[in-house]
Structure 1
C-alpha cells in the first residue's frame, strides 16, 4: 500500500512503501531540482535506522547534481545505520553510475519492486548499512 507523505512537486514525490520512504525523482535532475529535493532527502534520511529507496525510473536527465544527491543520501543513511536502495534502468544514468563507481556502493535495481524485494531479503543482523 502506498501512502503519499509529501506533495507532488515538479521533481519529487515522496511515498511510503513496505516500511521504506521512497523518493521518486522526476524529470530533469539538475542543480535547480537538487535544491528542491535536498530538504525532502534530508527529512527522509534523518533519525535512526532510515530505510530509503531512491527511484530514478521517472527521470529524463541526470547530471552531477543528481550524483551529489545520491552520495548525500548514502552518507546520511550510513551515518544513521540505515539502508538505502536505488532504482535505475536508464542506460545513460547507469553508465554514469558505473563510471563514478557509485553503482558498486549503491547497486541499482531495475524496478521499485525489485529494490523493495532486495531490501526484504537482506538479513537484519548481518547486513552492511547501505
Structure 2
C-alpha cells in the first residue's frame, strides 16, 4: 500500500468577499494552514480590495489555524494599515482564539465577538 493514500489532504479554503457599508467582509470557511492559505492571501491583497482597505475577516467557520494563518493576518494588517485602512476579526472562537491569544495577535488586530460588532466598532 502506498503511504500517501492515507495522508491528510486538506480541503481548500472557501472564501467569499462582500462589501457592507463600504467595508470589505472576507468570510472564511475551513482550516488555515500552509497548504490552504494562498486564497486568503490573494483575497487580502490591497490591490484586490478595489480601494477599500477597511476589512473584516469573518472567522466563524475557521476551526483551525496554524502559524501560516498568523503570518497571513500580520501581513494583511501591515499592508492595510500602510494603505490607511484597518483589519478586524469577527467570530474567532475555540482553538483559533487560543492561538491568537498565545501569540498576542489579539492585542494587535481587533477581535470582535461577531460580524455586526466588527462592522460597527
Do both share a fold (TM > 0.5)?
yes
Question: Structure 1 residue aligned with 2:53, among 31, 50, 54?
Answer: 50
Q: Indicate whether 1:59 and 2:57 are aligned.
A: no
- For residue 3 of structure 1, what is the aligned residue in structure 2? none
Q: Do the aligned residues in 1 keep the contact of 2:13 with 2:32 (CA within 8 Å)?
A: no
Which structure is higher in strand share?
1
Equivalenced residue count is 108
- For residue 19 of structure 1, what is the aligned residue in structure 2? 22
Q: Indicate whether 1:68 and 2:71 are aligned.
A: yes
Q: Deviations over 1:79-110 (max 9, x none)?
A: 11112111133121111111111100112101
User: Which consecutive aligned stretches of 4+ in structure 1 deviate over 4 angstroms post-superposition?
Assistant: none
RMSD between aligned residues:
1.7
Q: Indicate whether 1:78 and 2:56 are aligned.
A: no
Rg comparison, structure with higher value: 2
Distance in 2, matches of 1:89 and 1:72, equals 18
Query: Normalised by the size of structure 2, how large is the TM-score?
Result: 0.80
Question: Structure 1 residue aligned with 2:36, among 33, 36, 52?
Answer: 33
Specify every segment of 5 or more residues in structure 1 that has no aligned partner in the other structure, as ranges.
1-8, 119-130
Q: Do the aligned residues in 1 keep the contact of 2:56 with 2:90 (CA within 8 Å)?
A: yes
Specify every segment of 5 or more residues in structure 2 that has no aligned partner in the other structure, as ranges.
1-11
Per-residue deviation at 1:13?
A: 0.9
Query: Normalised by the size of structure 1, how large is the TM-score?
Result: 0.75
